[in-house]
């Protein structure tokens, strides 16, 4: 079968996401709201597995990183000091003919003057700043003194809690503070499904260090983050490291990499890894008047630490995982006729459901009872799904489509009816190869855990 073109592939992915309950349009019954999405029963599991794995690798498996969970609304002074209130904006141009609002870099200029890409009109306003932060008011009065913003990144909460966390964790440099949480940006042009949303989640680490370690740690974290993506099933060949050029980099950064992925709609950023120097802590120290210095006991020196920041998007990574996993192949149906099979080849580690359990027939009480016993056995260790309806081939196919890596079938051999040596064994089917093996029920938990890791 010929491979579908990339836009067809993307359409199929979007449709599967809705059909199987990964991702829905937010407020869909009211016509939706642009750039906002809801995760359904399977999407929420996938997202949670990704966040849990990030937390495990970035926090639990390390001695030098601690976590935190900051509030979404913070004192407006935070956004003034960080520079977001003045500079977190995209320059925008309005077309007076068709009223389109365009990002200045989308306006066509082929040497014959600026032109609207929507209507071709040439009556355009000068670029004006459009702040990407959502403004809101705290408390009963809506005036200048009650303004704040929904945070556009999680990082600032880490910077403003630096001192508290340093005091309580007693960490020595280099050490990091990690956080996963919502961020909001009033993007002008949300697009490519969840890729550019107005509400999204970030997984950020601020890794504090001495100035002289910054560049080396930038390289270190770039490599660690590439390994992370490989460990969740995104091959190195589809990942690209873009060195952000001097003129595109934030003025305070001494080096920034974008980790990009080949999405069906093109190569796009998954994560930024930036050496932000001591800019953020210095800004907050200046603005708050509170010391954010670190005291180096060995050298008897006080200084503001530098920081390297790997900042990843949860939603973009979920989308990359789905795009990477989506595949179509040929598999026999219940009558042995070949048919197209849709399969999400998720790494077992992040697959929403780890194992499906089926009694061969739903009207055989003993098969059903045994299958339910197996569900109870597995459930404390992994997320399992019980399904007794329809032909077994159909049931496998439904699980393939949502990326369940393992299927356990309880049949008459499990009951020892044909061969007593097979009593209390089941068929374990692997999603990608469709290979089946006979496994003792007592070995199932250990076996599955070792294959899911
Ligand atoms: P872009 O250039 O694509 O707008 P950015 O460079 O502004 O992204 P950062 O500020 O570095 O993004 O944010 C870190 C990460 O947060 C990004 O790599 C991305 O994964 C995620 N992210 C940023 N903006 C969005 C968005 N609008 N929707 C979904 N994820 C986002």
Length of the chain: 453
Protein residues with CB under 6 Å of any ligand 1 atom: 153, 185, 187, 196-197, 200, 202, 269-272, 311-313, 315-316
Q: How many domains does the chain have?
A: 3
Mean pLDDT of 242-247: 94
Distance 130 CA to ligand 1 centre (A): 17
Residues 73-118 have pLDDT tens digits of 999 999 999 999 988 877 888 888 888 888 888 788 877 788 888 8
pLDDT at 336 over 60: yes
Q: Which two tokens mark 405?
A: 């890596």
Q: Are residues 369 and 441 in the same domain?
A: yes
Residue 39 backbone phi and psi in degrees, to 5: -100, 130
Has residue 337 been placed in a domain? no
Q: Give the pTM.
A: 0.92
| Rounded Cα–Cα distance for residues 195 and 359 (Å) | 40
pLDDT at 224 over 90: yes
Q: Are residues 192 and 270 in the same domain?
A: yes
| Rounded Cα–Cα distance for residues 263 and 191 (Å) | 13
Q: Are residues 101 and 174 in the same domain?
A: no
CATH code of the domain in which 401 resides: 3.40.50.800
Residue nearest to atom 11 of ligand 1 (CA): 272
Q: Are residues 310 and 372 in the same domain?
A: no
Q: Are residues 255 and 240 in the same domain?
A: yes
Residue nearest to atom 3 of ligand 1 (CA): 269
Residue 93 burial (C-beta neighbours within 10 Å; 0-12, 13-18, 19+): buried
Residues 130-181 have pLDDT tens digits of 889 999 999 999 999 999 999 999 999 999 999 999 999 999 999 999 999 9
Q: Ligand 1: which of 272, 273, 321 to mutate, judged by most atoms within 8 Å of the beta carbon?
A: 272
Query: Following CA atoms 188, 194, 197, 202 in sequence, which dihedral angle do they give, to the nearest 10 degrees?
Result: -140
264-to-5, 72, 238, 267, 326 alpha-carbon distances in Å: 9, 32, 11, 8, 11
Q: Are residues 180 and 150 in the same domain?
A: yes
Q: Are residues 412 and 264 in the same domain?
A: no
Which residues fall within 8 angstroms of residue 110, CB to CB, at 6 or more apart? none
Q: Ligand 1: which of 150, 316, 317 to mutate, judged by most atoms within 8 Å of the beta carbon?
A: 316
Q: Are residues 13 and 82 in the same domain?
A: yes
Has residue 1 been placed in a domain? no
Q: Are residues 305 and 188 in the same domain?
A: yes
Q: Is 144 within 8 Å of 135 (Cβ atoms)?
A: no
Nearest in space to 431 (alpha carbons), one of 399, 393, 405, 395: 405
Has residue 329 been placed in a domain? no
Q: Are residues 26 and 175 in the same domain?
A: yes
Q: Are residues 116 and 173 in the same domain?
A: no
Sign of CA dihedral 269, 275, 280, 283: negative
- Which atom from ligand 1 is nearest to the alpha carbon of 259? 18
State the DSSP code for 156: H
Has residue 262 been placed in a domain? yes
Has residue 103 been placed in a domain? yes
Number of H helices, E strands in the chain: 12, 25
Has residue 397 been placed in a domain? yes
Q: Which domain holds residue 440?
A: 353-452
Q: Are residues 45 and 144 in the same domain?
A: yes
């Amino acid at each position: 079968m010929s491979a579908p073109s990339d836009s067809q592939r993307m359409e199929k992915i979007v449709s599967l996401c809705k059909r199987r309950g990964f991702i829905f349009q937010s407020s869909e019954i009211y016509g939706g709201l642009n750039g906002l999405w809801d995760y359904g029963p399977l999407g929420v599991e996938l997202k949670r597995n990704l966040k849990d794995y990030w937390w495990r690798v970035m926090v639990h498996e390390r001695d030098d990183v601690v976590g935190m969970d900051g509030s979404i609304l913070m004192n407006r002074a935070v956004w003034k000091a960080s520079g977001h209130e003045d500079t977190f904006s995209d320059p925008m141009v309005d077309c007076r003919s068709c009223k389109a609002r365009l990002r200045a870099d989308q306006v066509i200029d082929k040497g014959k003057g600026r032109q609207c890409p929507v209507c071709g009109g040439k009556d355009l306003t000068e670029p004006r700043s459009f702040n990407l932060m959502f403004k809101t008011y705290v408390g009963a009065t809506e005036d200048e003194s009650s303004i704040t913003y929904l945070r556009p990144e999680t990082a600032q909460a880490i910077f403003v809690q630096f001192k508290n966390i340093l005091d309580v964790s007693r960490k020595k440099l280099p050490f990091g503070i990690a956080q996963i949480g919502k961020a909001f940006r009033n993007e002008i042009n949300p697009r490519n499904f969840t890729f550019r949303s107005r509400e999204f989640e970030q997984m950020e680490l601020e890794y504090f260090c001495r100035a002289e370690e910054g560049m080396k740690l930038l390289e270190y974290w770039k490599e660690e983050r590439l390994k992370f993506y490989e460990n969740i099933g995104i091959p190195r060949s589809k990942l690209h490291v873009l060195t952000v050029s001097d003129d595109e980099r934030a003025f305070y950064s001494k080096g920034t990499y974008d980790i990009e992925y080949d999405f069906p709609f093109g190569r796009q950023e998954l994560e930024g890894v930036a050496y932000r120097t001591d800019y953020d802590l210095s800004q907050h120290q200046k603005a708050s008047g509170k010391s954010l210095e670190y005291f180096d006991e060995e050298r008897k020196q006080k200084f503001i630490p530098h920081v390297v920041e790997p900042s990843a998007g949860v939603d973009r990574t979920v989308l990359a995982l789905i795009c990477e996993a989506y595949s179509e192949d040929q598999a026999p149906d219940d009558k042995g006729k070949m048919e197209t099979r849709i399969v999400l080849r998720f790494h077992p580690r992040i697959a929403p459901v780890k194992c499906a359990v089926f009694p061969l027939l739903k009207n055989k009480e003993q098969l059903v009872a045994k299958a339910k016993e197996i569900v109870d056995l597995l459930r404390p260790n992994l997320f399992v799904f019980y399904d007794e309806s329809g032909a077994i081939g159909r049931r496998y196919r439904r699980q393939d489509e949502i990326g369940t890596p393992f299927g356990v079938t309880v049949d008459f051999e499990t009951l020892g009816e044909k061969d007593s040596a097979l009593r209390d064994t089941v068929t374990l089917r692997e999603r990608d190869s469709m290979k089946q093996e006979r496994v003792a029920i007592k070995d199932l938990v250990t076996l599955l855990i070792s294959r899911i890791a």
